[in-house]
Structure 1
């Protein structure tokens, strides 16, 4: 059986730590490095629901994409039961469940978040969107009208809904940026993309894209990143066949749309 440290080392071999942004927090963030793992749960986020699922399954470690502690959106200053983050961490510690997070290093690595997203949308001739490795660009097998393309994105990623600024031209060349990559729309434009698929897009981003004649699609943070969880699960299972590795069944898109 593999230790948590060995699982971390394998995941770093797939998504090297050096690929993470300077502000990021990746690796084995909770747990005993020497502990032997028998069951692993893979999820985009380490939510309370995911932790409860791990407890019910008897998992020793959760592998997440988004860091569970000391990240920009949830810096840890206390470990108190009367805070959401404190309760989560205390629950993990009480049940001796480790957490390994692979975040921006998994975004940029070959075969990571953005490659998986590009492949899911059927892009061909996939290449880098930016010098730092975030995002991918490729072409569709055949041209699609904007509305048909948007519908395909929604169905393929199983999104609850998408927001988009349309364009009048057929979609052939497409850029993608899993998660909050709205700032990379300019890279897609510079490369001559007809469409850019990402998440967390602002009003003026849509306006700028429409003025430039590019279809900008916000397919949601969860739907554009979650497909990589299956890849992580498969890689772990192949490398460590003695482990039971599952993808979370409780974690899902939390954003709903009322139309």
Structure 2
């Protein structure tokens, strides 16, 4: 017997409990009917119009994404906005949406563990412990570990990051400190710069860094790497495919083929 959308939601809740999401977040079961039978699941970092259309062409009944398809309150559901068009497309095709966001950032084996693994960090541990979930597992945003090529320059490590994450580009501040102890925070985590420094890190890899944060990193003497939001978080999609395939062996689960980095770089 195939699973229902609510079954997939509950399985994800066991891995990355939705009640651990941050206060501003809107992760969860966001679109669809819970008892809708699922045979095909498409996994994507975001649910865009293109991803919704791809799911429809493939015959998927559910999309599991990292970023919530509904983040800000929706006051009108029309084809006059991209969010409206996406939601209408999902509804018209009977496709559900389950989105695991900051709860998956913080969970063991989630976004930040996937990012640390992609960068081949050793001895990975939590950067910040935000709490303990209902199963007694500590969770928190960010990870810390030792760089595989400890002692390399920031420029050399930036090139390594670009290759490992297939990033468009890496913007970075180099302070002259060799790269040894590295903190990672998938997505926009530059506000945790002081946490990385307190954890004894000489380097912090994140995304969406603001100008003043580059200046702060230079003043604090910590190498700061901006690898892009997509590149630092899309690493979780293969883990989502693997998780769902393992828990629901009768489902067809695949990663989107239409969703890529939102911008180009030269």
* TM-score of the aligned structures, taking structure 1 as reference length: 0.96
Match of 2:148 among 134, 141, 159: 141
Aligned residue in 2 for 1:131:
129
Aligned residue in 2 for 1:47:
48
Whole-Å Cα distance in 1 between the matches of residues 254 and 35 of structure 2?
22
Give the 4+ runs in structure 1 shifted more than 4 A: none
- Structure 1 residue 23 and structure 2 residue 24: aligned? yes
Aligned residue in 2 for 1:114:
112
- Structure 1 residue 223 and structure 2 residue 224: aligned? no
Aligned residue in 1 for 2:85:
87
Aligned residue in 2 for 1:154:
162
Which secondary structure does the structure 2 equivalent of 1:80 belong to? coil
How far is the alpha carbon of 1:80 from its aligned partner? Answer: 1.0
Q: Deviations over 1:198-240 (max 9, x none)?
A: 0010111111111222110000000000010000000100111
- Point out where structure 1 has 5 or more consecutive residues left out of the alignment: none
Whole-Å Cα distance in 1 between the matches of residues 149 and 81 of structure 2?
51
How far is the alpha carbon of 1:84 from its aligned partner? Answer: 1.7
Q: Deviations over 1:40-59 (max 9, x none)?
A: 00000001111111011110
Which secondary structure does the structure 2 equivalent of 1:200 belong to? coil
Whole-Å Cα distance in 2 between the matches of residues 204 and 28 of structure 1?
36
How far is the alpha carbon of 1:171 from its aligned partner? Answer: 0.3
* TM-score of the aligned structures, taking structure 2 as reference length: 0.94
How far is the alpha carbon of 1:142 from its aligned partner? Answer: 3.5
- Point out where structure 2 has 5 or more consecutive residues left out of the alignment: 131-139
Whole-Å Cα distance in 2 between the matches of residues 62 and 75 of structure 1?
20
Which secondary structure does the structure 2 equivalent of 1:192 belong to? coil
Which secondary structure does the structure 1 equivalent of 2:80 belong to? coil
Higher mean C-alpha displacement, 91-100 vs 123-132:
123-132
Whole-Å Cα distance in 2 between the matches of residues 11 and 158 of structure 1?
27
Aligned residue in 1 for 2:10:
9
How far is the alpha carbon of 1:191 from its aligned partner? Answer: 1.3
Which secondary structure does the structure 1 equivalent of 2:75 belong to? coil
How far is the alpha carbon of 1:131 from its aligned partner? Answer: 2.7
Aligned residue in 1 for 2:136:
none
